[in-house]
Structure 1
Amino acid sequence: MKLYVLITALLGLTLFTPSYAAADEKPIYTSWRNNIAVGGYDTVSFFVGTPQLGKSEFSAQYKGATWHFQTEANRDLFLANPTAFAPQYGGYCAWAIARGKLAKGSPKHWYVENGRLYLNFNDRIRDRWLADKESFIEMADERWPDILE
C-alpha cells in the first residue's frame, strides 16, 4: 500500500512540473491533445489587453498549427501578418528558451513588449522573466529557433 501511495504521489508531481520537450520539436507549441496554438486563445486579442478564447469557426492554419480567433476580423488581421501577432518562440515559454530549455508557454501567463507577445509557463516563471526581461529576450533571441533542432 505504501508503494502505491509513493508511486501515485510521484506521478502527481510530474503533472505539475514543467515538461521539457525533446529536440526536433514543432515550431509552434501545441498541446499533445490537439494541434491548436496558444491554447485556443485569439492572439490578436492580447494586443488590446484582453486575451480571449477564439472560436473554431474563425480558425486559420499557420506553421502547421490551427489558430482560433474571436472574430473574422481578427483572423484576417492575423493572416495579413502572422509574425506580428504570433507569440515569440512559437508559443514556448520565453524564460525557458532563454535558459536553453523547451517548455510550454501558457496564454494565462503573458506579456507584450515592443509589439511582441511572450508566453511563460506560470506566474512564478513570468515574474522571473519580468525581473530581467531585456536580458532574457536577448538570450532567447540568440537560441531561437536553433533550440528546436
Structure 2
Amino acid sequence: MTTLSRRTLLALPLAIGAAAALRAGPAQADADPVYTGRFSSLALGGYDAVAYFREGRPVEGVRAHEVEWNGATWRFASADNRAAFEADPQAYAPQYGGYCAWATAEGYRAPGNPDYWRIVDGKLYVNFDGNVQRRWEADIPGFVARADANWPRILAD
C-alpha cells in the first residue's frame, strides 16, 4: 500500500478543486449569453466581429464604434462595420455567444479566444486555444452538431 506524505494530503483538496473547476469550465457559473470575461463587458475581447468576415482576420475594435447587444459591448474598427453589425447582429456574432465551440460541443462553457477562430458555413466560431481548435477542426460538422444541441441547455444553466 502506498502512503501519502502530509504535504500531499494537504494539497489534495486543492488539486481536486482545481480539476473540478477546469472540467466545469471557467465561465460555467456565469449565465451570460455572451462571453465577456470576468471583469469586462466586451464581447470577443473587444475585437471587431465584422472584420473576421470582411478582412479575414481579427481586428481590434475602438471605443468610438461601440454598440450594446445581447448584454455585451461590441467594438468595431469602423462605423461601417458597426452599422453592418447593427443591421444584422446574428450574421456576425460568434456562435455560442463567443464561448469555446469545442467546449460547447462537450457540454460546458469555456472562454472563447478571439485569436482562435474559424468561419464555417458563414458562421464565426471561436475556441479556447490552438490545441482545442485543432481538436475541434478534426470533426467540425460533428462538433457543431453537438454544440448546437447542447447550447440551449448550457445557456439555461
> Which TM class, normalised by the smaller chain length?
0.7 to 0.9
- The CA deviation string for residues 35-81 of structure 1, in whole angstroms up to 9 with x for no partner, is 00000000001113121000011000000100000000000000000
Query: Given the alignment of the two structures, is residue 108 of structure 1 paired with residue 121 of structure 2, yes or no?
Result: no
Q: CA deviation at 1:21?
A: 2.7
Aligned partner of 1:84 in structure 2 is: 91
What amino acid is aligned across from residue 43 of structure 1 in structure 2? A
Quick one: structure 1 residues 53 and 77, their matched pair in 2 at CA, closer, same or farther if it must change by over 3 Å? same
Task: Give, in angstroms, the shift of residue 24 of structure 1.
Answer: 5.9
- Work out which of the residue numbers 133, 139, 142 in structure 1 matches 2:140: 133
Whole-Å separation in 1 of the counterparts to 2:30 and 2:128: 20
> Does structure 1 conserve the Cα–Cα contact (< 8 Å) formed by 2:28 and 2:110?
no
CA distance in 1, matches of 2:62, 2:26: 29
Q: Percent identity?
A: 44
For 1:60-79, list aligned pairs within 5 A.
Answer: 60-79=67-86
Q: Is the 8 A contact 1:94 1:140 kept in 2?
A: yes
Contact 1:24 1:148 in 2 (8 A): no
Aligned residues of 1:111 and 1:118 also touching (Cα < 8 A): yes
Match of 1:38 in 2: 44
* Structure 2 unaligned spans of 5+: 1-6
- Deviation, 1:145, is 2.5
1:146 CA drift (Å) = 2.0
Q: Give, as a single letter, the amino acid of the residue that structure 2 aligns with 1:133.
A: I
Q: TM-score, normalised by structure 1?
A: 0.86
Structure 1 segments of 4+ aligned residues over 6 angstroms from their partners: none
Question: Residue 64 of structure 1 aligns to which amino acid in structure 2?
Answer: G
- Compute the RMSD of aligned alpha carbons: 2.0
1:148 CA drift (Å) = 2.0
Match of 2:66 in 1: 59
**Local SS of the residue matching 1:49:** coil
* Structure with the greater alpha carbon radius of gyration: 2
- Whether the 8 Å contact between 2:48 and 2:75 is mirrored in structure 1 is yes
Shift of 1:20: 3.1
Q: Distance in 2 between matches of 1:49 and 1:22?
A: 30
Q: How far 1:32 sits from its partner (Å)?
A: 1.2
